[in-house]
Amino acid sequence: MVISSQSLTQQIVSELGQSIVRGKYSGKNTFPIEADLCEEFGVSRSVLREAVKMLTSKGLLRARPRQGTWVQDEQAWNLLDPDVLRWLLDRKFSIELLSEFTEIRLAIEPQAAVFAAQRATDEQKQAIADSLARMQAAERGDDDALQSDIAFHVALLKASDNRFFSQLKDLVETALRISIRLTNQYKGVALASVEDHKKVFDAIMAGDSAAAHAASYELVKEANDLIAKAKEKSANS
């Protein structure tokens, strides 16, 4: 089977990105030269350069003419990039990073619920209803609990009818895969509370902005509180 240059580029981005985040190339003079990377991955210079360009746009690499390419300090990495966030969470589980992400959710999701209550289209409301139905099906063992929960939060962001909030869906989905497992574990249940999610949906359907904000805030705050407990336990262990 012939692999397209785009697929090869994505593969190289993933492999190099994970290696960078894990510290394999830390230090200004340790990132391999172009020729060595082309030989390692068995690709042309054009494919390799595109991969390096993508990693540079994610803040992981920096290149200068006649000075080469090197790994940037972690502070320069784009945490809003879903790939970078996923690599960081996969590198070594960081409760601190997950806590910071959930604080961002506290600032965003309740406001997204307000906007959804005010201006969600019938189609967007139906998407939330469908995700809620999936969560109910997951309770019966007829759907995937994690995927249905994520679908609800993504549908909520889209229903805000705000393009910036909608752009966060990939980021939210990436981190929720880790967050939901952790919070459900600390709650002692394998499934999210459908009833708590339904409160958000009912408020949106009723066009009640205040109730939508309150229900969404409580939903995310519960996750934030559980992560804080996990963080405290980790610090004391």
Final residue of a structural domain among 76, 101, 128: 76
Same domain, 68 and 185: no
**Predicted pLDDT at 12:** 95
Same domain, 33 and 104: no
Same domain, 71 and 128: no
**Helical (H) or strand (E) element with 70:** strand 68-71
Has residue 163 been placed in a domain?
yes
Query: What are the pLDDT tens digits along the chain (237 aa)?
Result: 445 667 889 999 999 999 999 988 876 567 898 899 999 999 999 999 999 999 999 999 998 877 788 999 989 999 889 899 889 888 777 788 888 888 989 999 999 999 999 999 999 999 999 999 999 999 899 999 889 999 999 999 999 999 999 888 888 888 888 887 777 776 665 567 899 999 999 999 999 999 999 999 999 998 888 888 888 877 776
Same domain, 55 and 132: no
**Helical (H) or strand (E) element with 200:** helix 194-206
Final residue of a structural domain among 76, 106, 128: 76
Final residue of a structural domain among 48, 76, 104: 76
pTM equals 0.79
Same domain, 67 and 105: no
Q: Give the structural domain span for 190.
A: 93-236
User: What are the structure tokens assigned to 88, written together?
Assistant: 């960081």
Same domain, 35 and 116: no
Q: How many distinct structural domains can be found in the chain?
A: 2
**Predicted pLDDT at 44:** 92
User: Any idea what the CATH number is for the domain that residue 135 is in?
Assistant: 1.20.120.530
Has residue 65 been placed in a domain?
yes
**Helical (H) or strand (E) element with 221:** helix 209-236
